[in-house]
Amino acid sequence: MTDQRFNPLSADKRWQTRWSEDGVFEANNDSAKPRSYVLEMFPYPSGRIHMGHVRNYTMGDVLARFRRMQGYEVLHPMGWDAFGMPAENAAMEKKVHPGEWTRANIAGMRDQIKRLGFALDWSREIATCEPDYYGHEQALFIDMFEGGLVYRKESAVNWDPVDMTVLANEQVIDGKGWRSGAAVEKRKLSQWFLKITDFADALLDGLDELKGWPEKVRTMQENWIGKSQGLQFHFSLAEKQGAIETVEVFSTRPDTIFGASFVALSADHPLAQQLAQKNDALAAFCEDCKKSGTTAAELETMEKRGFDTGLTVTHPLDSSWHLPVFVANFVLMDYGTGAVFGVPAHDQRDLDFARKYALPVTRVVAAAGEEDTAIGTEAYTGPGQLVNSRMLDGLDILTAQQTVIDQAEAEKWGKAQTTWRLRDWGVSRQRYWGTPIPIIHCDDCGAVPVPKDQLPVTLPDDVNFDIPGNPLERHATWKHVDCPKCGKPAQRETDTLDTFTNSSWYFLRFASQPDNLPFDAETVQKWMPVSQYIGGIEHAILHLLYARFWTHALASLGRLDFTEPFESLFTQGMVTHETYFETVENTETGADQIVYYSPDEVEHREGGVFKASGGAPIAVGRIEKMSKSKKNVVDPDPIIEQYGADAVRFFMLSDSPPERDLPWSEAGIEGSWRFVQRLWRLFVSLADETESTAAAQGGEDKALRRKLHQTIAGVAEDIESLSFNKAVAKIFELINMIEKAKPSSDRHNAIRTLASIVAPMVPHIAEEAWALFGETDLIANASWPEFDETLLVEDEVTIAIQVRGKLRDTLSVAKGSDKSTLETLALGSEKVQRTIDGAEIKKVIVVPDRLVNIVI
């Protein structure tokens, strides 16, 4: 007698062991089968996996298992994005070495992930913090260095003047250092940059190829790259300042040149710097500009302020027209030329600035009829014709732009120019826990790459984090080396690479991992590009752009012969949960403060939510992304232990569309658990039944057979499009029908086939069922069931009968009934006649197999 309850505690472990021992999911580089590379963004080993990971890897796993069943050789690897700040924070707080902390986290998280029974090729596991990964990364960096894609320049960082350390944006809270609380300053450091801008055009054009990417991500990348065409030209300084005689500006709106009322320089602009040397007030203003943050959001929301330098420039189209020159805090040195001309009437920022400093506002573009309408508090950015613009009057915007550009080029004071919002990628980090930059600084030879036979440049283990700052910088011996070129004493670069570099090529290393090279191009070529990449939308720009850039760059260096790494991309939603809180008075300050409670600390009872074990009522807050600060985190581990991997996996796939947020709920996981048990009851019901005994009892069941075939086709389609919630709904419909059906050979077959249909989602119970049915091989090695095309279409359809677009009746007719039949049937409907009530019929619209709409 087979157990009437499915027991995941024993089944999960048993099948996971079997899959592992048989090496079922190890990808074969030499396979002759068609290939599919399914990849989920690898995790940062923060300590514990969270529900977001579970959701991400479950989705990838369903696709990977489904592709295997379809006959593909599947590469589905897992690894660790193991460098990063949390390890250093742990080192400071817990006095544990970042490496030790990270490796312990990896070990724990690997166990957690394995308990979910994913079809992963663990033989290819990588951790980016190990020298056998980052050493190869150093080799690739040197390739880029030698290929002219790496350079050094000054760039601003957040500097904490108390801790004497560089801070990440994340560590700056309201302009203050997160530990010291000191006001953060911008400070310039000489840093390494990768020339991503060399690939701006290629990265932009490449987006067109990426048909399998969400439109929104392509748009975000397009906007991020920000190609804009315009006019770059110079204003001549009325009062020459030594060597500086002109101010170079760039504008995408040269048509508005007659609306200019000022020129604004970045505080970092050479002219601003030069003037500041002789002008204490200006120097103070420039210094003040350094106090703002380095993030775009801060720069753009801060109060726009300027400093009038007293200088003027002459207008290029009218030498008698002088414009004042300001230094302004909103002009970025990194974009364009570091100087702009302000047209207040047609740019909101310029308008705000002009109002503040009482500068003229002249409308130069107007929609029809608005030529004389004054500009109030809102700049006009819409279409129209040029006004108040001398020779441009009456022209449309585009023609005016071209006219100005042509004249500038003819008179040699400017030229058409393409500018990018995209800036080069600063990869230097003044931190320990990252890939050491393989460069040696020699007084005589300059920056010399470490010879490849001396790689990897490994991190020293004997470091301490008792004082802030970079331990590599203050390590007694590590940085002191001889120059590889001339042999004289020199210094190692002590900055490490941005962790984004680690995730910019890991997918290549998964595909091929020779000892002596980063990857073997031929093997990589067999697997790449990644067929389906799955991860969070938060990576829509940075990670995905950097990974694309590395692939483009390696292709340009002749190391790869493709440029786009990810054929299809899917961005999944977050796992969310209700928040629980109460507002209490802070005993010291008297101010109200919110105290959050975790789901473990509350209980749901009649009348609401209360503190656990009979406590007081508690407020239920918004449903939000699971986060430590809101304490609304549910740890997957105990859930897996209680309900088993299959129920957890199934929950992750049900209900919410995968790109949308998934609210975690106790009731939801209970529902998934009941689903698993329901499946099991169906499977065991077959244990003593053969197809022929079933047939003998009830013959055949055509409707159920049709439903089965529709489900096989429909679920396959839904899995391919990652619409797991729809696949789940179809499975439920099939099960509902099976449960209501009488015994028959078709019912018997439907249940057997059901095991295969659900196998990618709930693989443990599917294996268990397969064994129960007497199969000796694994269902993981089985094929996706075939379906009969002819059974997919119904032979009877329900037609909607509308009167003036409103549903009045429905009719069941043979599929393919012709229009006149349908019209006659519709007009014969009693309900229709009642609604028409003798009115004149103007028109009858008939859509075969769909509806009839009677217009009166």
Per CB under 7 A, does 725 bind RNA?
yes
Per CB under 7 A, does 721 bind RNA?
no
Per CB under 7 A, contacts with RNA among 207-226 are: 215-216, 219-220, 223-224, 226
- In whole angstroms, the minimum distance from the beta carbon of 310 to RNA comes to 28
Considering only 114-122, 131-139, 154-162, 398-406, which stretch makes contact with RNA by CB under 7 A?
154-162
- In whole angstroms, the minimum distance from the beta carbon of 485 to RNA comes to 27
- Reduced to 3 DSSP states, what percent helix, strand and coil does the chain have, rounded to the nearest 5? 40, 25, 35
Per CB under 7 A, contacts with RNA among 234-293 are: none
Per CB under 7 A, does 741 bind RNA?
no
Per CB under 7 A, contacts with RNA among 339-358 are: 348-349
Question: Using an 8 Å Cβ cutoff, are 772 and 683 in contact?
Answer: yes
Kind of pairing between the strands at 439-442 and 489-492? antiparallel
Per CB under 7 A, does 677 bind RNA?
yes
Per CB under 7 A, does 158 bind RNA?
yes
- In whole angstroms, the minimum distance from the beta carbon of 34 to RNA comes to 28
Kindly give the residue spans of alpha helices, DSSP state H, lying in 564-635: none
Per CB under 7 A, contacts with RNA among 560-579 are: none
- In whole angstroms, the minimum distance from the beta carbon of 453 to RNA comes to 30
Place of tokens 């100087």: 339
Per CB under 7 A, does 168 bind RNA?
yes
Question: Using an 8 Å Cβ cutoff, are 364 and 388 in contact?
Answer: yes
Nearest to 772 by CA among 646, 679, 650: 679
- In whole angstroms, the minimum distance from the beta carbon of 84 to RNA comes to 3
> How many angstroms separate the Cα of 330 from the Cα of each of 226, 268, 288, 459?
18, 11, 12, 40
Question: Using an 8 Å Cβ cutoff, are 540 and 225 in contact?
Answer: no
Per CB under 7 A, contacts with RNA among 782-801 are: 798, 800
Place of tokens 């022209």: 395
Q: Phi and psi dihedrals of 260, rounded to 5? A: -65, 135
Structure tokens belonging to residue 557? 């260096």
Please report the DSSP string for 466-509 in residue order. SSSS-HHHH-SSTTEEE-TTT-SEEEE---EE-HHHHTTSHHHH
- In whole angstroms, the minimum distance from the beta carbon of 385 to RNA comes to 19
Per CB under 7 A, does 188 bind RNA?
no
Question: Using an 8 Å Cβ cutoff, are 450 and 483 in contact?
Answer: no
Dihedral sign, Cα of residue 265, residue 266, residue 269, residue 271: positive
Question: Using an 8 Å Cβ cutoff, are 325 and 265 in contact?
Answer: yes
Q: Cβ closer to RNA: 319 or 798?
A: 798
Per CB under 7 A, does 706 bind RNA?
no
Cis-peptide, bond into residue 529, ω within 30° of zero: yes
Per CB under 7 A, does 713 bind RNA?
no
Question: Using an 8 Å Cβ cutoff, are 141 and 497 in contact?
Answer: yes
Per CB under 7 A, contacts with RNA among 58-117 are: 81, 83-86
- In whole angstroms, the minimum distance from the beta carbon of 303 to RNA comes to 11
Q: Cβ closer to RNA: 426 or 484?
A: 426
Question: Using an 8 Å Cβ cutoff, are 829 and 811 in contact?
Answer: yes
Q: Indicate which single residue of 106, 142, 167, 560 sits in contact with RNA (rule: CB under 7 A).
A: 167
Per CB under 7 A, contacts with RNA among 641-660 are: 654-657, 660
Q: Indicate which single residue of 59, 140, 144, 157 sits in contact with RNA (rule: CB under 7 A).
A: 157
Question: Using an 8 Å Cβ cutoff, are 354 and 344 in contact?
Answer: yes
- In whole angstroms, the minimum distance from the beta carbon of 573 to RNA comes to 8
Count of chain residues binding RNA (CB under 7 A): 99
Rounded Cα distance between 833 and 838, Å, is: 7
Per CB under 7 A, does 7 bind RNA?
no
Considering only 150-158, 177-185, 370-378, 522-530, which stretch makes contact with RNA by CB under 7 A?
150-158
- In whole angstroms, the minimum distance from the beta carbon of 794 to RNA comes to 10
Rounded Cα distance between 701 and 698, Å, is: 8
Q: Cβ closer to RNA: 63 or 379?
A: 379
Dihedral of CA atoms 382, 387, 388, 392 in degrees, nearest 10, equals 110
Per CB under 7 A, does 423 bind RNA?
yes
- In whole angstroms, the minimum distance from the beta carbon of 672 to RNA comes to 8
Q: Indicate which single residue of 24, 182, 183, 189 sits in contact with RNA (rule: CB under 7 A).
A: 189
Q: Cβ closer to RNA: 324 or 535?
A: 535
Q: Indicate which single residue of 262, 500, 506, 570 sits in contact with RNA (rule: CB under 7 A).
A: 500
Per CB under 7 A, does 739 bind RNA?
yes
Q: Indicate which single residue of 137, 498, 567, 767 sits in contact with RNA (rule: CB under 7 A).
A: 498
